[in-house]
Amino acid sequence: MGQISSDFSGAEDSVQQQVDGYNAHDIDAFMAPYSPDVVITGFPGGNVMARGIDEMRPIYQRLFANNPDVRCRVVKRMVQGNIVVDQEEVTGYADGQIVRAIAIYEVHEGLIRRLWIATQ
């Protein structure tokens, strides 16, 4: 059995760190595992939702401010090398909606560089 590349080690830890930061509404902890040049894309359409942490940060700051009870629960998680796939359920929106999503994270050197989000 071959050795696991160091590029893959910690991929799940990085994703979990941002989930924990999200649930604590701690914007700095949430943003810490993201690469400065992260790209967040809708799936399957390919629409870019944010390019870089400078675009990403205010989106989540508003989300936390407008939805003080919002939380993300990881329903299922799969990890393959530097790819982490989460089935997520987000509750606590001010309007009562529940968002179910598949989030696909690509992690390099401990930082999330790409995130694809498929919602229903």
Q: Render pLDDT for 22-81 as a digit per residue (tens, 0 to 9).
A: 999 999 999 999 999 999 999 988 899 999 999 999 999 999 999 999 999 999 999 999
Strand partners, 91: 71
Q: Is the pLDDT of residue 8 over 60?
A: no
Is-contact 68 88, C-beta < 8 A? Answer: no
What tokens appear for 65 in the block?
A: 């401010």
Q: Is the pLDDT of residue 117 over 70?
A: yes
Residue type, 105: Y
Three-state SS annotation for the chain: CCCCCCCCCCHHHHHHHHHHHHHHCCHHHHHCCEEEEEEEEECCCCCEEEECHHHHHHHHHHHHHHCCCCEEEEEEEEEECCEEEEEEEEECCCCCCCEEEEEEEEEECCEEEEEEEEEC
Which architecture, in CATH terms, is 11-119?
Roll (3.10)
What residue segments make up the domains of the chain, in order of their start? Answer: 11-119
What Rg, from alpha-carbon coordinates, does the chain have? 14
Quick one: pLDDT at residue 70? 97
* 22: CB partners within 8 A, 6+ apart: 30, 60, 71, 72
